[in-house]
Homo-oligomer: A and B are copies of this chain.
Amino acid sequence: MRASLAGLLAFVFCLGWLGAHPPKGGTSIDNAMDTQLPLKTFRGMQAEAKGCIECHAKKNPGIVADWKMSQHAHAGVSCIDCHAVTKDSPMLTMDGHEGSKVPISVLVSTNTCAKCHEKEVTEFRHSGHVRGAVQIWAKANMRDLMLMVEGRNHPDLKHAPAATGCQQCHGSIIQLNKNHRPTPETWPTYGIGTAFPDGSVGNCASCHSAHKFDISEARKPAACASCHLGPDHPDIEIYNNSMHGHIFNAEGAKWNFNAAPGTWKVPDFRAPTCATCHMSGNAKSAVTHNVSRRLKWNLFMPISKLRTGGYETASDDYKYENKITIGNPLAGNPKGPEAARAEMKAGCIDCHNAQHIDNFFIMADKNIMLYNEYYQEAIKMRDELAKKHLLGKDMWSDDFQNTMYHMWHHEGRRMRQGGIMAAPDYSHWHGVFEVQQDIRKLRKIYAKRLKTNQIED
Interface residues of A, Cβ cutoff 8 Å to B? 59-63, 65-66, 68-69, 106, 149-152, 154, 156-161, 163-169, 181-185, 187-188, 190, 209, 212, 214, 216-217, 220, 222-223, 225-227, 229-232, 240-243, 245-247, 249-251, 253, 265-267, 270-271, 349-353, 355-356, 358-360, 362-364, 366-367, 369-370, 373-374, 394, 396-397, 402, 418-419, 422, 424-425, 427-433, 436-437, 440, 443-444, 447-448, 457
Contact = CB atoms under 8 A, between A and B. Distances in A.
15 contacts: A60-B349, A63-B351, A66-B351, A150-B433, A150-B436, A157-B373, A160-B369, A163-B363, A164-B367, A165-B425, A181-B355, A187-B356, A226-B245, A230-B430, A232-B429
Given A363-B185, A370-B154, A223 B241 contact: no
B369 A157 contact: yes
Given A188-B360, A226-B246, A366-B160, A182 B429 contact: no
A422 to B, nearest CB: 7
- Which of A152, A231, A243 has the most C-beta atoms of chain B within 10 angstroms of its own C-beta? A243
Contacts of A164: 363-364, 367, 418-419, 422, 424, 427-428
A225 B349 CA distance: 25
Contact of A424 (B152, B169, B356, B448): B169
Contacts of A240: 225-226, 229
Contacts of A158: 370
B157 A370 contact: yes
Nearest to A61: B266
Given A152-B374, A217-B247, A243-B209, A350 B267 contact: no
A11 B425 CA distance: 39
B432 A161 contact: yes
A105 to B, nearest CB: 12
A217 to B, nearest CB: 5
Contacts of A427: 161, 164-165, 168
Contact of A432 (B165, B366, B432, B443): B165
A410 to B, nearest CB: 9
Q: Choose among A62, A167, A231 the residue with the greatest number of B CB atoms under 10 Å from its CB.
A: A62
A356 B187 CA distance: 7
A226 B253 contact: no
Nearest to A151: B370
Given A62-B270, A184-B363, 18 more contacts: A60-B349, A62-B351, A152-B374, A160-B363, A160-B366, A160-B367, A161-B370, A164-B428, A169-B425, A184-B360, A187-B359, A209-B247, A212-B270, A214-B250, A216-B251, A217-B247, A217-B251, A447-B457
A445 to B, nearest CB: 10
A359 B185 CA distance: 8
Contacts of A356: 106, 187-188
B353 A440 contact: no
A366 B159 contact: yes
Nearest to A152: B373
Contacts of A163: 363, 366-367
Contacts of A216: 250-251
A444 B397 contact: yes
Given A222-B249, A424-B166, A60 B432 contact: no
Given A226-B245, A366-B159, A355 B106 contact: yes
A143 B271 CA distance: 33
